[in-house]
Chains A and B, each alone.
Chain A
Amino acid sequence: MSSRETPHPRRGILRRRSSLRTREARTGYLFVLPQVVGLVAFIGVPLVASLGYSFTHWDLIAPAPEFVGFDNWAAMLQDPRVPAVLLNTGKFILLGTTSFLLFSLIAALITYTPRRFVGVYRAIIFLPYVLSQIAVGVVWRWMFNTESGPLTVVLEAVGIRSPDWLLDPATAMTSIAIMTTWQGIGYGLTLFVAGLSGVPEPLIEAARIDGANVVQRFFHIILPLISPTVFFLTVTSLIGALQLFDPVVAMTSSSAGVAGAGGPDNSTRTIVLYMYNQLFNLSEAKSGLGYAAALAWMLAFLTFLITAIQFAVGRRTIYYEAGQQSRGRSRRRARTENTHD
C-alpha cells in the first residue's frame, strides 16, 4: 500500500483548492488576453517607440529617421512657444474645466429629483454632447460674431459692451471654453445625476429636521457622498483639457487650414495643436516627427503628474462609504474600519 493509494485527506483538499485556483487564474488570463494584447501592442509598444523617435529627426519623406540624441529635448526646453502653449491650456483649464464641473453639478442638482418631464430636460441638455466638433464649431463661429450673434445681442441688451470673442486674444480662449462647456454639461450632468441618485433621501430629511439649511445640507451631506463622482469627472475632464484640439481647429482655423489655427495672436494654440504643427511643418530646423514625439511625451508626463497629484489629494478627501464596492485600498480601509467597531 503506497501513500498514493491511501487518500490523504488534507492534501486532497489542498490539491483541489489549488487546482481550482489555477483553473480560475487560467480562465482569468484567457479572458483578459485580448485587452492585454491591445495594451501592449497599441499602447505600450508605440509609447516606447515614440520615446525612441524623440531622439531622432525625421520628416517622413526620407527613408529612415536620423539619430540626433537629445537635440529635440534641448530644443524643447529652450522653445519659448512651449510655455506659451502650456499657458493657453492652463487658461482653458481654469475657465473651461471648472465651469464644466460647476454647471454640470448645478444642472444635476436641479434635475435629479424625480419629477415629470425631468428626463426630457436632461435629454435636451445632453443633446449637444452627441454632435460632432466640426458641426459645433461652425455654428458657434457664427454665434460668436459681434454684429448679430446672439451672445452679443444679449450683452448689448443689458448695456454691456460685447467683447470681440474670437477676434480678441484676450477672449478667444474664453469663447472656446464657453463652447466646450456647453457641449459637455450633458455628460457631466448624467454622471452627477447617477451619483446623486445614490444619496439616500432619509439622510437629507434627517438633516433638514435637525435644522440644517440648503447650503449646509449640500456641503456636509451631498458633496461628500458624491465625492467619488466629482473625483472621476475632475480627473477625466482634466485629461481631456490637456489634449484640447478639435474645438480649437473647428473655431480658429483659417483658409490655410489647421496650420492657421491657434487663434488671434496664438492665444488658443494648445499643446496638441503645436505638436500637430511641428509634425508637418518642416520650415524649422528642429521640427518634424522627432520633435512632435518629444512634445507628446512631455504631454504624457504632464498628464501623469497632474493625475497623480489628484489621486494623492483624493485619497484624503474622498469619502468611500464602508461596505461600498470600491477600489482596493479603500475597500481594505473600509474593512478595517468595520472590524474596529
Chain B
Amino acid sequence: MTDVSLRRRTVKPTRAAATLTYHGILIVLTALYIFPVVWAVSMSLRTNENMFHADQLIPHPITFEHYENLFGILPDFGRYVLNTLVIAVLGTVGTLASSSLAGYAMARFRFAGRNVLLLLLLLTLMVPAQATLIPQYVWFRDLGWLNTPLPIIIPLLFGSAFASFFFRQYFLTLPRELEAAASIDGAGPWRTFVQVIVPNAGPAYLALGLLTFVQLWNSFFVNSVYLTSQDSWVLTQALQSLVGRYNSQYGEIMAGVTLVSLPVIVAYLIFQRWIVRGIAMSGLAN
C-alpha cells in the first residue's frame, strides 16, 4: 500500500513537468505559426504612420478608419458578399446532393460499370482544371452565361468527383442493418436514402459541406475568368482589385482581408470537431 502511494507521489511531478513543457512548446509554436494572420489584422487597425513599424504587434493607437474607408472604396461590398454567398451556398448544396447520391450508389448498389465509374472519377481528379477551362469558356460564352455565376454553379450541381469518392468511402462504413430495417418497412431506395441514410451521414455532409464552402468562398481563378463585370464580382476579386488600384492602402487591404476571412474562420471554429470526425469516419484516411 505504502509502496504504491509513494510511487504515485514521485511520478506526478515528472508528469506535470512533462505536460507543462508540452503545452509550453505548443503554445509558442502555434503562436508563431499564426503570427502572419495576427499581423494582417494588426495592420488593419494601425494608423498609416505606424503601418510598417515592426516593433508593435498590438497597435497604439488603434483605429477603425481603414474599415470605414474600405466601404468607401468598395461601395458595392454588400453586393460582392451576396454574389459570393450565392456561389458558395448553391455550389455546396448542389455538390452535396449529387455527389452523395452517386457515392451511395457506388457503395451500395451493384450495377454494371460501377468499378469503371469509380476509376473514371479517380482519373478526373488528375485532370487539371485548366485543361477543361477553355472549351467550357467558349461554350458558356455561346450560351450567354458570362458575367453570371451560372458557369460556376451549374457544373457543381452535377457533382464533383472528389465529393462522390468521399461519400462512397463514407457510406461503405455504414452498417447494412440500416437499410435492412427500412426495407422491411417497405421503403423504396429513395425513401431509404432520404429518411435513413442521410440523417446518419451528418458528419460526412458537414465535413464535405464546409470544405466545399470554404473552397468556393475563397476561389479566385475561375471566378476571374467568368465574372468580368464589376457587378458580378465576388469578394476575392474585390480584394484583388484593391491590391491593383490602391496598392498603397495597406490598411484598407488588410481590413478587406480580415472581413473576407472572418466568416470562414467562424464557420470552421464552430464545425471543427465534426470535420475531423467526418474525415475520419469516411475511411478516407484509410
Contacts and interface: CB of A to CB of B under 8 A. Distances in A.
Interface residues of A, number: 95
A19 interface: no
Contacts of A100: none
B124 A140 contact: no
Contact of B111 (A25, A38, A131, A148): A25
Given A130-B261, A134-B240, A138-B257, A32 B130 contact: no
A21 interface: yes
A37 to B, nearest CB: 5
Given A42-B155, A296-B130, A49 B124 contact: no
Interface string A163-198: 000000000000000000010000000111111011
Interface string B51-86: 010100000000000000000000000000000000
A243 B19 CA distance: 42
Contact of B268 (A130, A139, A229): A130
B253 to A, nearest CB: 6
A233 B126 CA distance: 13
Contact of A272 (B121, B128, B214): B128
A296 B129 CA distance: 9
A203 interface: no
Given A31-B104, A150-B35, A297-B131, A127 B268 contact: yes
A212 interface: no
A325 interface: yes
Contacts of A182: 33, 36
Nearest to A45: B135
B110 A47 contact: no
Contact of B130 (A111, A123, A140, A272): A272
Contact of B260 (A36, A128, A132, A297): A132
A146 interface: no
A293 interface: yes
Contact of A299 (B114, B128, B276, B284): B128
Contacts of A50: 131-132, 134-135
B264 interface: yes
Contacts of A32: 101-102, 105-106, 117
Contact of B128 (A143, A300, A327): A300
Given A25-B111, A191-B285, A194-B285, A132 B98 contact: no
A155 interface: no
Contacts of A92: none
Nearest to B52: A148
A102 interface: no
Given A38-B155, A42-B132, A126 B109 contact: no
B150 to A, nearest CB: 12
**Interface of chain B: mostly helix, strand, loop or mixed:** helix
Chain A interface SS verdict (over half): helix
Contacts of A132: 217-218, 220, 236, 239, 257, 260-261
A275 interface: yes
Contact of A303 (B126, B260, B286): B126
A243 B128 contact: yes
Contacts of A293: 131, 134
A246 B221 contact: yes
B182 interface: no
Interface residues of B, number: 91
A82 B35 CA distance: 37
Given A34-B158, A121-B30, A46 B280 contact: no
A324 interface: yes
B143 interface: no
A190 B214 CA distance: 15
A41 B279 contact: no
A297 to B, nearest CB: 6
A190 B54 contact: no
Contacts of B22: 115
Interface in B129-167: 129-136, 139, 155, 157-161, 164
Nearest to A148: B54
A31 B136 CA distance: 25
B285 to A, nearest CB: 4
Nearest to A25: B111
18 contacts: A25-B109, A34-B101, A39-B120, A39-B124, A39-B158, A42-B132, A117-B26, A130-B218, A130-B264, A131-B257, A134-B243, A142-B250, A195-B280, A195-B285, A195-B286, A293-B131, A296-B131, A300-B126
Interface of A: 21, 24-29, 31-32, 34-39, 41-43, 45-47, 49-50, 53, 110-111, 115, 117, 119, 121-136, 138-140, 142-143, 148-150, 153, 182, 190-195, 197-198, 226, 228-229, 232, 236, 239, 242-243, 245-246, 255, 257, 272, 275-276, 279, 289, 292-293, 296-297, 299-300, 303-304, 307, 320, 324-328
List the 5 closest A-B pairs by CB distance, nearest first. A38-B158, A28-B109, A194-B280, A49-B135, A31-B105
Given A130-B268, A134-B220, A194-B280, 20 more contacts: A27-B189, A34-B97, A34-B158, A35-B99, A35-B101, A36-B117, A46-B133, A50-B132, A123-B269, A128-B34, A130-B214, A130-B261, A134-B240, A135-B261, A139-B40, A148-B52, A150-B35, A194-B276, A194-B285, A325-B286
Interface of B: 19, 22-23, 26, 30, 33-37, 39-40, 52, 54, 97-99, 101-102, 104-106, 109-112, 114-115, 117-118, 120-121, 123-136, 139, 155, 157-161, 164, 169, 172-173, 189-190, 193, 214, 217-218, 220-221, 236, 239-240, 243-244, 247, 250, 253-254, 257, 260-261, 264-265, 268-269, 272-273, 275-276, 279-280, 283-286
